[in-house]
């Protein structure tokens, strides 16, 4: 795609303190894309924003990296010098491949993460709704979705559960299966806590967020059916919830058996903190199931190994489908030449017919049919040769020959 470029930052080159500053909500992304279109006249754009990355893909004849970083800085109210060293740019050759690898989970912190594919789909839908998805972006995205389908069917890249957060949610799903209106408390909203919350979005549960900085919990709960509770009310949190997940940073446990009343309870406790935030004496509370981060990590190792073995096959699929996209793009590039050739031959046909004014109407109708059929047969081979040349990377030479032979660059021929 000529002029299709990208810039972005991710967990690979930016700490969470930076990533969270440039994360876009759906409403913010929509407004930003409108601003982008109005400011730079960009006709195609895609904004992918998750907890692990913010990436902007756009079509422009110019490299707008510096301008777009400043636009993001202005939109977010952040000095641009705080961001410019974190953003990486991708040219028209690298950008499509990078988007393939992002959408398929090859660039994810959790290898093969299936969530990123859905996030990219939502971003694409938003671009389409804003009329920022043209023929090239439409074709690229649908090629990526087809590649993702092949990865799912032909490889084990997305098999098993490969993150602590997703393992935790798997445990929760099994635990709450027979509980009516299950209630879950999430303590701590750092990167791990937010990953858990993102994974919980697919579950039909009541969620309570608990965080030292209550404003952060309020922001994450905004617009959703999520309750927020103070960290000082842990006894209430324990009493009201069936599942308690702790991902809080602490030097000593914040939960112990003292937070539980006497008698048997039925609760699942998941401690994702290091150091641990749940006292081991909780294992002695009747009815309590306690898991720590090491126990959950063990469950992910096998899945990670299987997924890593699938990387070569997944990358081969990316190469295949990217090549198919590039072939389509090349054919699109010679389409104007094909059209000009058709116009040139049609012009010759009409000029020759105009010389025979003494023909009857019946004879003229017959000649119309015969000459149009001849033109279709004459043009068939050059078109096939052009498409074949595209696949060989030799289209430019053949386009030059056709331009010279038929004078296709002249103003008269370009008229349809």
The distance of Cα 24 from the centroid of its chain, to the nearest Å, equals 14
Cis, bond preceding 10 (omega within 30 deg of 0): no
* CA atoms of 84 and 340, how far apart (whole Å): 45
Q: Is the separation of the CB atoms in 194 and 164 below 8 Å?
A: no
Q: Which pair of tokens denotes residue 296? A: 């959950």
Q: Which residue has the tokens 């705080």?
A: 82
Backbone angles phi, psi at 46, to 5 degrees: -140, 125
Active-site residue, 229 included: no
* CA atoms of 186 and 255, how far apart (whole Å): 13
177's CB contacts (< 8 A; 6+ apart) are none
- CA torsion through residues 391, 392, 393, 395, sign: negative
Q: Is the separation of the CB atoms in 159 and 303 below 8 Å?
A: yes
Which one of 16, 51, 152, 367 is the catalytic residue? 51
User: How would you list the strands of the sheet with 53-59, edge to edge?
Assistant: 45-49, 53-59, 4-10, 88-90
Query: Which residues are marked as active site?
Result: 51
């Amino acid at each position: 795609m000529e002029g299709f470029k990208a810039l972005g930052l991710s967990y690979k080159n930016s700490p969470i303190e930076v990533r969270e500053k440039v994360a876009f909500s759906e409403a913010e992304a929509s407004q930003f894309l409108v601003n982008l279109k109005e400011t730079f006249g960009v006709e195609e754009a895609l904004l992918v924003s998750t907890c692990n990355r913010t990436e902007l893909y756009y079509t422009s004849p110019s490299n707008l990296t510096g301008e777009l970083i400043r636009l993001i800085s202005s939109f977010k109210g952040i000095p641009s010098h705080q961001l410019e060293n974190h953003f990486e740019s991708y040219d028209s050759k690298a950008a499509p491949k990078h988007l393939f690898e992002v959408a398929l989970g090859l660039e994810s912190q959790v290898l093969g993460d299936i969530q990123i594919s859905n996030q990219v789909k939502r971003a694409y839908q938003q671009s389409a709704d804003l009329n920022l998805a043209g023929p090239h972006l439409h074709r690229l995205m649908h090629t990526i979705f087809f590649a993702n389908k092949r990865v799912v069917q032909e490889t084990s890249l997305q098999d098993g559960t490969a993150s602590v957060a997703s393992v935790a949610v798997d445990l929760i799903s099994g635990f709450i299966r027979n509980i009516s209106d299950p209630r879950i408390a999430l303590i701590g909203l750092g990167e791990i806590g937010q990953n858990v919350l993102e994974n919980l979005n697919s579950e039909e549960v009541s969620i309570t967020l608990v965080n030292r900085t209550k404003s952060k919990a309020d922001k994450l709960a905004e617009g959703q059916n999520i309750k927020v509770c103070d960290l000082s009310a842990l006894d209430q949190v324990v009493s009201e919830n069936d599942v308690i997940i702790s991902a809080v940073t602490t030097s000593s446990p914040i939960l112990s058996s003292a937070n539980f009343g006497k008698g048997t309870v039925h609760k699942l406790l998941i401690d994702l903190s290091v150091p641990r935030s749940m006292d081991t004496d909780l294992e002695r509370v009747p009815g309590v199931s306690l898991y720590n981060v090491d126990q959950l990590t063990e469950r992910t190792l096998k899945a990670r190994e299987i997924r890593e073995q699938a990387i070569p096959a997944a990358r081969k699929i990316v190469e295949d489908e990217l090549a198919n996209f590039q072939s389509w793009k090349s054919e699109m590039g010679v389409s104007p030449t094909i059209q000009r050739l058709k116009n040139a031959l049609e012009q010759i046909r009409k000029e020759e017919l105009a010389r025979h004014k003494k023909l009857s109407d019946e004879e003229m109708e017959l000649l119309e049919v015969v000459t149009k059929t001849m033109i279709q047969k004459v043009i068939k081979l050059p078109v096939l040769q052009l498409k074949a040349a595209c696949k060989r990377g030799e289209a430019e030479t053949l386009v030059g020959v056709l331009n010279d032979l038929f004078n296709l660059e002249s103003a008269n021929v370009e008229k349809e």
